[in-house]
Amino acid sequence: MSLHEKSIAEIVAALDSKKFSCRELVSHHLDRITEANGYLNAYITVDREKALTQADAMDKARASGNAPILAGIPIAHKDIFCTKDIKTSAGSRMLDNFIAPYDATIVSKLKAAGTISLGKTNMDEFAMGSSNENSYYGPVTNPWRKDYIPGGSSGGSAAAVAARLCVAATGTDTGGSIRQPAAMCGITGIKPTYGRISRWGMIAYASSLDQAGPLTRSAEDAAILLEVMSGFDPKDSTSLNRQVPLFTQSLNNSLKGLKIGFCKEHFGKGLSSDIENAIDIAIKQFESAGASIQEIELPSSKFAIPAYYVIAPAEASANLSRYDGVRFGHRCENPVDLADMYRRSRSEGFGKEVKQRIMVGSFALSAGYYDAYYRKAQQIRRLIKNDFLAAFESVDLIIGPTTPSTAFKIGEKSDDQIEMYLQDIYTITSNLAGLPAASIPIGFSKGLPIGLQIIGNYYDEASILNLAHQYQQETNWHKMSPTAFSLEGIQPSIKP
């Protein structure tokens, strides 16, 4: 098996038995990035020298018997996490010159576990987007089909994992930005319960919705990383002060007696028939393993899109007010006065989508409109949470589509804002409620991956990962990789 096709557990075992070194593993992935990134545009920054230096350090640690648990595993970080002495841009011209002076908590946790960062992945600007077309550095290409989007905003991370340009990657999920690209790239992605992973050092979009999580090839890999990434952080006021479960120890629990719900409203108009058929097949797989399936109701979910696109822009307008050209970030040339510097620096630094959301958010929070829009959206948010609480009284997990369709062509929906926002129609509810949710691959439609969403009750990531792992023990969808990227060398035909 090629080095880039191994799981985290397989890599750790191979490194332990000295079948290859950390340096060989990291060099292999760096060479693949050099070959493929011109095509995919998945990475914004690659630090080869630092990665190899860290690999040598992990080889020494292994030789001395003092290696941390994930010593030598090559990963990538979404370019929304501060990484010390490396550019952290959030996919924006506004931060194109920003070198982070510290590591985000998630970065430091993974570094302490021995992982090696290959670089920073491309993303929609300030995580605002569902297609990864809103990046200052250009769109990311889906590894499965040229000229198709990988999903967003964590599209660079998803594409890098799917194309085997890293073993795993970090992402953030505000309205589906881990799960949606995971579905469109044919990999596994999980957004844990809000507060499970520290947000300290993660550039904020919408603070009450943002949550970090791993993008991996399998549920087992996700469980391994989630154990490392999770935990209380006193530097984050929203961090959960709860013991982190050993997610890997519950991956082989029986599904007998498990109650799984599905929302009938999620199946029908707007959903691709191929996706619905793939979910029906997955349901039969769950039933054959002993789980029971029952219909549930989430009546307030139909209001999720309008509520989200009031709350998220409102929080974004406040969070992004700090980017004014004064202390850091882009500053316009030769401003006439302070007001001119503010106006031009923000106009030049922010892209179109970010400007639109700032304006919507500022309007929703303005005097005379706060009660009509923002307060009403928060009331809807509470109704959505109540729907889930009621549903979880009768079921353990909820399944459904991750996206209404598979990946679409780059530029296809750029002029249709509503159609673009509807790509998150099935994922937004769990962010509004703060629930854990994952997407796993369950098939293909016309050569493009299909994702299944699994939503769990609060703090119950273990049940989500167990169901996903049990399914992946019986299927091979998660093991499939794009042909052009599955070989030892990237196929020349895909190079630009």
DSSP secondary structure string, 405-420? Answer: SS--BTTSSTT-HHHH
Closest CA to 73 of 122, 6, 17, 171: 6
> Quick one: tokens of 34?
């050099």
Pairing of strands 168-173, 211-216: antiparallel
Question: What percentage of the chain carries pLDDT values higher than 70?
Answer: 98
Please, which residues bridge with residue 120 across strands? Answer: 45, 77
Domain assignments of the chain as residue spans, ordered by start:
3-300+382-494
Q: What is the pLDDT of residue 488?
A: 58
Question: What percentage of the chain carries pLDDT values higher than 90?
Answer: 91
Measured between alpha carbons, how far is residue 392 from residues 280, 382, 396, 407, 458 in Å? 21, 15, 6, 31, 10
Residue 496 pLDDT greater than 70, yes or no: no
250 is annotated as an active-site residue? no
34-53 pLDDT, tens per residue? 999 999 999 999 999 999 99
What class is the 3-300+382-494 domain? alpha beta
Q: What is the pLDDT of residue 418?
A: 85
Closest CA to 395 of 473, 297, 280, 268: 297
Peptide bond into 481 cis (omega under 30): no
> How buried is residue 446: exposed, middle or buried, by Cβ count under 10 Å (0-12/13-18/19+)?
exposed
What's the whole-number average pLDDT of the chain? 95
Would you give the DSSP letter of residue 477?
G
Residue 494 pLDDT greater than 80, yes or no: no
Q: Do residues 120 and 376 lie in contact, with contact meaning Cβ atoms separated by under 8 Å?
A: no
Q: How far apart, in whole angstroms, are the C-alpha atoms of residue 300 and residue 303?
A: 6
Pairing of strands 437-445, 448-456: antiparallel
CB-based contacts of 352, cutoff 8 Å, min separation 6: 134
CB-CB neighbours of 186 under 10 Å:
30
307-328 pLDDT, tens per residue? 999 999 999 999 999 999 998 8
463 is annotated as an active-site residue? no
129-163 pLDDT, tens per residue? 999 999 999 999 999 998 999 999 999 999 999 99
Strand order in 437-445's β-sheet?
A: 43-46, 116-121, 74-78, 168-173, 211-216, 188-191, 437-445, 448-456, 397-401, 259-263, 292-296
300 is annotated as an active-site residue? no
> Quick one: tokens of 77?
């970080």
Residue of 6, 27, 78, 463 with catalytic role: 78
CB-based contacts of 109, cutoff 8 Å, min separation 6: 228, 229, 231
Q: What is the pLDDT of residue 484?
A: 80
Q: Residue 492 — very low, low, confident or very high, per pLDDT cuts 50/70/90?
A: very low
183-205 pLDDT, tens per residue? 999 999 999 999 999 999 999 99
Residue of 153, 154, 300, 430 with catalytic role: 153
Region 418-427: mean pLDDT is 90
* Amino acid symbol at 171: G
340-362 pLDDT, tens per residue? 999 999 999 999 999 999 999 99
Q: What is the pLDDT of residue 489?
A: 57
Q: Residue 123 — very low, low, confident or very high, per pLDDT cuts 50/70/90?
A: very high
Region 27-35: mean pLDDT is 96
Q: How far apart, in whole angstroms, are the C-alpha atoms of residue 252 and residue 465?
A: 10
Using CA atoms of 396, 213, 282, 401 in order, give the dihedral in degrees to the nearest 10: 90
238-289 pLDDT, tens per residue? 999 999 999 999 999 999 999 999 998 898 788 999 999 999 999 999 999 9
* Amino acid symbol at 349: G
42-92 pLDDT, tens per residue? 999 999 999 999 999 999 999 999 999 999 999 999 999 999 999 999 999
Residue of 92, 135, 177, 239 with catalytic role: 177
